[in-house]
Amino acid sequence: MNRIGDRIVEPAGEARVAAQADVVVVGGGPAGMSAALAAARNGARVALLERYNHLGGLASGGMVLVLDDMWDSHHEEISVRGTCMTMIERLAKLKLATFPRQHEWGELPESYRRWARWGTFDFHSHKTPYPICFAASFDPDGWKRVSLEWVEELGIQLRLHSWFSRALMEDGRIKGVICETKAGREAILGDIVIDATGDLDVAASAGAPYVKGSYIMTTVFRLGGVDTDAAERFEYGEPAAFAELDKRAKKMIGNSWAHWWLKTPLPGVVWCNCPHMPGLDGLKVEDLTHAEMQGRKHIANLL
């Protein structure tokens, strides 16, 4: 082992060429899926690489359960369609997505009561309560299932459990990537490489300039066996008592949005987009580990 100060100098290695494609997409979240599907629909041979065992990124594995606010600023038409809309339609067919119809959009009190606990409101609005808009609540495992079926239909070479580690560069151009896998290091070569890691892993490794930002971290969780009808009856029937209990719950969780629990397409299962933890760095193992441990303590505290 060659150690210099707090650094280890690694020996140069070899990697098996595992795949070759016209377009290599790194990261199987919503962005990577859309890129891979679009390239395949246009006739390209596509390899889609993902470090985890599923597609969907934060939308499925991170349990981000509302495709929110997809209407235009005049509140007249749906502004996000394409792949996203097809995904919603496929999920809805399986009864794994739900969304308000156009006649329910806007500020009707009965619409708010019907949809607020699905999180399908326009949270950018300055109006209170928020207007109901076109947004969809979906099941995360449904997203995984539909994604796998879809990439298979289009003949995309899917490589799960492949963790991108390094860009392969030649004459200032990216020619492929190296992935760490259980079988060792693998090279995937392509004419075009698309970075959809959500963290610019590929672009940073290729030497592209970038700006590092930060945001809150959240240990999203779901709870089962919840009588959501009773909870909503309580919310609207006894608003003062509900507000008091809600305030106590939020204090126990730490940081959360106003609607910290939302309904999901699975009866009795609620989605909690909390607790939020500010001031952590999403690229640091120490901070990520802290967030996992701290987040679960907050959840246990609430339960």
Interface ranges with ligand FAD (CB under 6 A): 26-32, 49-52, 57-59, 62, 64, 66-68, 163-164, 196-199, 201, 218, 220, 273
- Complex with ligand FAD: residue 62 or 106, whichever CB lies closer: 62
Distances (CA, A) of 182 to 97, 148, 161: 35, 21, 8
CA–CA distance, 268 with 68 (Å, rounded to integer)? 21
CB of 164 to ligand FAD, least distance (A): 3
Q: Choose between 55 and 111: whose C-beta lies nearer to ligand FAD.
A: 55
Please give the residue whose beta carbon sits closest to ligand FAD in the complex. 29
Nearer Cβ to ligand FAD, position 234 or 255? 255
Nearer to ligand FAD, 67 or 88 (CB): 67
State the minimum distance, in angstroms, from the CB of residue 72 to ligand FAD: 16
Nearer to ligand FAD, 18 or 26 (CB): 26
Closest distance of CB 150 from ligand FAD, Å: 15
Nearer to ligand FAD, 111 or 256 (CB): 256
Cβ atoms of 192 and 23 within 8 Å: the answer is yes
Q: How far is the CB of 42 from ligand FAD (least distance, A)?
A: 20
Q: How far is the CB of 280 from ligand FAD (least distance, A)?
A: 12
Q: How far is the CB of 34 from ligand FAD (least distance, A)?
A: 8
Which residue, 117 or 239, is less far from ligand FAD as judged by CB?
117
64 vs 91 by CB, closer to ligand FAD: 64
Closest separation in Å from C-beta 111 to ligand FAD: 19
Please state the closest distance from residue 271 (CB atom) to ligand FAD, in A. 9
List Cβ neighbours of 120 (8 Å cut-off, separation of 6 or more): 66, 68, 99, 100, 132, 133, 134, 135, 136, 137
